[in-house]
Amino acid sequence: MLLEVKNLSKHFAGLAALHRISLQIREGEILAIVGPNGAGKSVLFNLINGMLRPTSGQIHFLGEDIAGLKPHLIAHKGIARTFQTTALFDQLRVMDNLAIGYRLRNTHGFWSTIFHSRDWKEDRARTTANVMETLDFIGLAEKAFHPVSSLSQAEQKRLSIGVALISQPKIILLDEPTGGLILEDTDEITDLIKKIYKVAEITICLIEHKMRMVMDLAHRIIVLNFGSMIAEGSPEEISKNPEVIEAYLGAEYLA
Amino acid sequence: MPAIRFLLKKWFYVLLLVLAMALPFLITNRYYFQIVIMGCLFSITTLSLNLILGYTGQASLAHAGFFGIGSYGVALMTKSGISFWLALPLSALFAALIGFLIGLPTLRTRGSYFAIATLCFGVIVSIVAGSWIEFTGGYTGLVGVPHPTPLPLPLIGVIGFETQTAQYYLVLAFLLLTLLVMHRLVYSHLGLSFMAIRNNEALAEAVGVNTFAGKILSFVVANFFAGLAGGIYASLVGSISPSTASIDLTFSWLVYLLLGGAATLAGPIIGAFVIPVIMEYLQFLQEYRLIIFGALLIAVIIYFPRGLMGGFSTLQQRVREFYGQRRGVKHAVRS
């Protein structure tokens, strides 16, 4: 088991954003988390990556309890994520964003930087090589020196996935990777996610609203509603689940 | 020949360095020369303020406080007979240590809260300097701080620091050292992580940057150089007082930094030289010149958020894009 969440709850001033969620993410799968707005999907990601502390419950990653650790430590353990509102270092260039993403693989510190020691040079060479490789992988090689602000919405989405990917994580949490994109761009991102799964062999957990895309990508789907898990299963099972249809479309569609 | 290629590529910087080395022979007026020396010294403080404020995005207003700590450290130590060359690094390290201790609580706050917390610390330093009479001499300060101890150098012999020229070379050497360290930091992955903290702290954390440690490191290095500049100041000027640590100094450097260009390496130096000179020319306006600077500061922050140097590089980029586009059009026509 790669990641295991047990009885996880998060309350904001008494209001339960997540209530006793238990789920597992297996190594080498694509798991989709779906649910209406406010169901607690992003809260779950924020708990897993350490941006929020759980009110109660445990998060085990490779058998180790990581609940409540700081985000940068969790990143070092091999959990990468993207954000719902595309988060990038928008004052910097495309390649700088990726170099920052790769930084946790570097070992050199302050004095090595000042004296340009051998480990600094090795790290720099390795970073450059990985930045180039990732640029190719996400299809932004020609934009390496461009400022982030000059990228299109779809390119920014791809770069944000690249920033998560370059650290060679064991799992990537993608928070609405195609949110706000038109159909063609959505297909491109879908292809990129498939490529990450197949070529880079990284486990993927994604939050997504576009059901067509989820059905196409996911091996397994978990449905959240009002902070609770209401269904879990294969895409076929989920698409026939009456509770899911009710949560998404309203009870009158159940007839 | 790599040396020649280096000269051709960096001719502008080499020329600047030669000019800086030749400056004592070009400026004969002692008063102007003193302004240049102060320009170099305040370039060091503005460059270090730039590291924490410009690159890391944490608006420290305690900079003169750490300058003051360095200056009192060197003044007290050299007056009691310790060599300047030992007192200076010790004082700078002491300023860095205090910076570390102050940073631990204050860097947990964000934005304006950090600015206010450091502002308070800066004020406290100058009050302590004014009130701890038996140690700091109170508001009259310390006078008769000796000039830097003569330095025996191989090949050249012993160098004294009684003349303005020697003092200038001393300050220039430390300015170049500061610039070297800043350059190495800024053009590295460590520097990139500082900028990542400035730009998007949550994302920086999520990709594995220890943002708190990064902020502490940047703050400590900045305060080390503030203390270093303070120590040199005490030894060159010969007398210090609580006003050496006053908040007015911090705000002067802030103006140099913002007008010159935050988050650039040339900006702080340009600011630290150009603005005192303008101030000097506007002396006939007395207090009213501050109004002009106020207006200028607002205009720069609105239209050139990255100061003079930022505006310059934007302009450069526009020109390059313009020519790039024309070249692109030509290519398109040809094919």
Q: What is the pLDDT of residues A9-20, one digit of tens each?
A: 999 988 889 999
- Mutation target to probe the B interface, by most B beta carbons within 10 A, among A69, A91, A175 is A91
Phi/psi of residue B245, nearest 5 degrees: -110, 15
Strand pairing category for A56-61 and A64-65:
antiparallel
Considering the domain boundaries, does residue B290 fall inside one? no
pLDDT by residue for chain B (335 residues), tens only, comes to: 677 787 777 888 889 999 999 998 898 888 889 999 999 999 999 999 999 999 999 999 999 999 999 999 999 999 999 999 999 999 999 999 999 999 999 999 988 899 999 999 999 999 999 999 988 999 999 999 999 999 888 878 888 898 999 999 999 999 999 999 999 999 999 999 999 999 999 999 999 999 999 999 999 999 999 999 999 999 999 999 999 999 999 999 999 999 999 999 999 999 999 988 888 888 788 778 778 878 888 888 788 777 777 777 777 778 877 776 655 544 444 43
Q: How far is CA B265 from CA B27, B243, B270, B304, B307, in A?
A: 25, 28, 9, 16, 12
Cα gap B241→B142, rounded to integer Å: 6
SS3 A93: strand
The string of DSSP codes covering B280-296 is: HHTGGGGGGHHHHHHHH
Which chain A residues are Cβ-neighbours of B193 within 8 angstroms? 100, 103
Radius of gyration of chain A, Cα coordinates, nearest whole angstrom: 19
- Ordered by where they begin, the domains of chain A are 3-254 (3.40.50.300)
What is the pLDDT at residue B101? 98
Considering the domain boundaries, does residue B250 fall inside one? no
**Residue A201 burial (CB < 10 Å; 0-12/13-18/19+)?**
exposed
The 10s digit of each residue's pLDDT in A46-87 is 999 999 999 999 999 999 999 999 999 999 999 999 999 889
What is the pLDDT at residue A254? 56
Q: What is the pTM of this model?
A: 0.91
Considering the domain boundaries, does residue B332 fall inside one? no
Percent of chain A with pLDDT over 70: 97
Q: Please report the number of interchain residue pairs, chain A to chain B, with beta-carbon separation below 8 angstroms.
A: 94
| Chain centre distance of CA B165 | 21
Phi/psi of residue A40, nearest 5 degrees: 105, 15
Which two structure tokens, joined as six digits, stand for A45? 């990601």
Give the range of the structural domain holding residue B138, as residue numbers without chain letter: 33-244
Considering the domain boundaries, does residue B39 fall inside one? yes
What is the pLDDT at residue B319? 80
Considering only residues 120 to 139 of chain A, which have any Cβ-Cβ distance to chain B shorter than 8 Å? 120, 123-124, 127
SS3 B119: helix
Cα gap A187→A130, rounded to integer Å: 25
The total number of structural domains that make up chain B: 1
Rounded mean pLDDT of chain A?
A: 92
Question: Per the CB < 8 Å rule, is A72 touching B196?
Answer: no
Cβ atoms within 10 Å of A32's Cβ, excluding its own: 23
Cα gap B130→A192, rounded to integer Å: 64
Question: Per the CB < 8 Å rule, is B205 touching A71?
Answer: yes
C-alpha dihedral, B153 to B159 to B164 to B169, nearest 10°: -10
Question: Per the CB < 8 Å rule, is B189 touching A114?
Answer: no
Interface predicted TM-score of the whole assembly (ipTM), two decimals: 0.92
- Does B204 touch chain A if contact means CB atoms closer than 8 Å? yes
Contact B77, B87 (CB under 8 A): yes
What is the pLDDT at residue B312? 79
Contact B69, B227 (CB under 8 A): yes
Considering the domain boundaries, does residue B253 fall inside one? no
Chain A residue with CA closest to B220: the answer is A110
Name the β-bridge partners of A225: A228
What is the pLDDT at residue B333? 45
Angle among Cα B43, B62, B99 to the nearest 5 degrees reads: 95
Chain B residue with CA closest to A87: the answer is B203
Beta strands in B200-333 (DSSP E): none
- Mutation target to probe the B interface, by most B beta carbons within 10 A, among A83, A113, A145 is A113
Average pLDDT over residues A123-140: 96
Considering the domain boundaries, does residue B139 fall inside one? yes
- Does B216 touch chain A if contact means CB atoms closer than 8 Å? no
- Does A111 touch chain B if contact means CB atoms closer than 8 Å? no
Q: pLDDT at residue A216 above 60?
A: yes
Torsion B44-B47-B50-B52 (CA) sign: negative
Cα gap B103→B216, rounded to integer Å: 6
Considering the domain boundaries, does residue B15 fall inside one? no
What is the pLDDT at residue B273? 94
The conformation of residue A182, written as its DSSP 8-state character, comes to -
What is the pLDDT at residue B334? 43
What is the pLDDT at residue B330? 47
- Does B193 touch chain A if contact means CB atoms closer than 8 Å? yes
What is the pLDDT at residue A252? 61
What is the pLDDT at residue A1? 87
Of A65, A5, A20, the closest CA to residue A227 belongs to A20
Considering the domain boundaries, does residue B111 fall inside one? yes
Which chain B residues are Cβ-neighbours of A96 within 8 angstroms? 192, 195
**pLDDT band at residue A45 under the 50/70/90 scheme:** very high
The conformation of residue B58, written as its DSSP 8-state character, comes to -
What is the pLDDT at residue B290? 77
Which chain B residues are Cβ-neighbours of A99 within 8 angstroms? 189, 192
Which chain A residues are Cβ-neighbours of B192 within 8 angstroms? 92, 96, 99-100, 103
Of B195, B193, B172, B185, the closest CA to residue B222 belongs to B185
The 10s digit of each residue's pLDDT in A102-127 is 999 998 889 999 999 999 999 999 99
Question: Per the CB < 8 Å rule, is B199 touching A127?
Answer: no
Which chain A residues are Cβ-neighbours of B196 within 8 angstroms? 89, 92, 100
